[in-house]
Amino acid sequence: MPIITVEHLSKHFKVYKRRTGFWGNLSSTFSREHDIIKAVDNVNFTLERGELVGYIGANGAGKSTTIKMLTGILVPTSGHIDVMGLMPYRHRKENTRRIGVVFGQRTQLWWDLPVIDSFELLKHIYEIPQNLYKQNLEFFSELLQLQPFLSTPVRRLSLGQRMRCDLTAALLHNPEILYLDEPTIGLDVVAKEQVRQFLRQVNAERQVTVILTTHDLNDVEKVCQRLIIIDSGKIIYNGAIDALKKRYGKTRLLIVDLAQAYSDIQLEGVDLTRRDGNRIWLAFDRDTTSASEVIAQLTARYEIQDLTISEPEIEEIVRRIYELGMH
């Protein structure tokens, strides 16, 4: 029995056209001219209890919109969401007691108050029993080393410290599901690693189901077991990360620094995937084309300065999927 079931879920936004200038402004105030943005478009997936799933997609793909519908913030345009037997927006109150939410872009803590005050307030908001509260607070402040800044106002925390506090705040009431929208945004390498480690641990020790969105594929690779890729509101991949690598990792990449920026580059069996000044990225299928063939072709036609071959990283695979779509 899945903990989250999403069926034919869609969210459409009406965006009213705005004209410029005084008269344009005035007339657009009264006209109902609009575009429809299909932010989420007929999406289906399920999550099992205890899973750790990465939800990725390019900017504007519909990740946050999906999360907001799952958490009950937005009402879906159509489709069905079942979270632990509840409909999030209809049974909002019951649902929120059983979930934790972190928005990386916006803190849920009281900005001008000491961190500990936010935790105390949440204790009352969620009616967390005192002993459970103490136990959890101890557990998280130990794990995330919150002690040194518990009495510092939130506005004076660094981004990394703030994120650790936000994570704690979302977990104090022992939620069964944790939704994270870009939890590593803006963090440095060390802080990111700390968040990842923490999520793995919370998932393993407390059986919290985690769904996270991110633009850093390392998060996904190091934390998640499963990957869901959304593109323009539609799910284009849903499965294990290894399987994605196997399926799309046939493509190798050759990065070449040319002596000059040739205007027209023509090579057989090779895709020019990217270009930046004199540097070009060439992708080719390892089964049909060998690296030496490609290099031979290149050197015969162009003057090259340097080259490297890279084996497909998840990052590259996903970048190609964002750019070219799934084949």
* Footprint of other proteins (CB under 8 A): 13, 60, 64, 68, 71-75, 89, 92-94, 96-97, 99, 101, 103, 105-106, 108, 110-113, 117, 121, 124-127, 153
For ligand ATP, the closer CB: 12 or 91? 12
Handedness of CA 85, 91, 96, 102 (dihedral sign): positive
178: partner contacted, choices ligand ATP, Mg ion, other proteins, none (Cβ within 5-8 A by kind): none
Which listed option, Mg ion, ligand ATP, other proteins, none, makes contact with residue 57 (CB within 5 to 8 Å by class)?
A: ligand ATP
- Least distance in angstroms from the C-beta of 210 to ligand ATP: 17
Range 260-281 burial, b when 16+ CB lie within 10 A, else e: eeeeebebeebeebeeeeeebb
Distances (CA, A) of 202 to 64, 133, 227, 236: 22, 16, 19, 29
- Give the interface segment with Mg ion, choosing from 43-51, 59-67, 110-118, 156-164 (CB under 5 A): 59-67
Region near Mg ion per CB under 5 A, out of 56-64, 149-157, 256-264, 298-306? 56-64
Contact by Cβ (8 Å): 306, 234: no
Residue 43 and residue 59 in contact, taking contact as beta carbons nearer than 8 Å: no
Using only C-alpha atoms, the chain has a radius of gyration, in whole angstroms, of 24
Looking at beta carbons only, is 105 or 310 nearer to other proteins?
Answer: 105
| Tokens found for residue 74 | 């937005």
Partner touching 256 among other proteins, Mg ion, ligand ATP, none, CB below 5 to 8 Å by kind: none
Distance, CA of 99 to CA of 102 (rounded, Å)? 10
- How many Å separate Cα 93 from the centre of its chain? 26
**Quick one: which segment of 15-23, 27-35, 64-72, 91-99 binds Mg ion (CB under 5 A)?**
64-72
70 φ, ψ (degrees, to nearest 5): -65, -35
What token pair was written down for 166?
A: 């936000």
Output 34 or 275, the one with its CB closest to other proteins.
Answer: 34
Element (H, E) at 140: helix 130-143
Task: List, in sequence order, every beta strand (DSSP E) within the chain.
Answer: 4-16, 34-47, 52-56, 78-83, 99-103, 177-181, 209-213, 226-231, 234-240, 251-258, 271-276, 279-285, 304-310
Q: Which is nearer to ligand ATP, 103 or 248 (CB)?
A: 103
Residue 175's contacts (CB-CB under 8 Å, 6 or more residues apart) are 98, 99, 100, 208
Rule CB under 5 A: is residue 184 a binding residue for Mg ion?
Answer: no
Question: Taking the complex as a whole, how short is the minimal distance between the CB of residue 237 and ligand ATP, in angstroms?
Answer: 15
For the bound state, the minimum distance from the C-beta of residue 155 to other proteins, rounded and expressed in Å, comes to 9
Q: How far is the CB of 135 from ligand ATP (least distance, A)?
A: 34
Under rule CB under 5 A, residue 203 binds Mg ion:
no
Q: Could you tell me if 9 and 88 are in contact, meaning their C-beta atoms sit under 8 angstroms apart?
A: no
Reference 172, options 115, 241, 243, 92; nearest CA is: 115
Minimum distance from CB of 163 to Mg ion (Å)?
16
Of 15 and 291, the one with the shorter C-beta distance to ligand ATP is 15
> Which listed option, Mg ion, ligand ATP, other proteins, none, makes contact with residue 314 (CB within 5 to 8 Å by class)?
none
Out of 40, 41, 52, 64, which residue is the one contacting Mg ion (CB under 5 A)? 64
Which of ligand ATP, Mg ion, other proteins, none interacts with 108 (beta carbon under 5 to 8 A by kind)? other proteins
CA 87/CA 195 separation, integer angstroms: 30
- CB of residue 279 vs ligand ATP: minimum separation in angstroms? 26
The footprint of ligand ATP (CB under 6 A) covers 13, 15, 37, 39, 57, 59-65
Q: How far is the CB of 326 from ligand ATP (least distance, A)?
A: 17
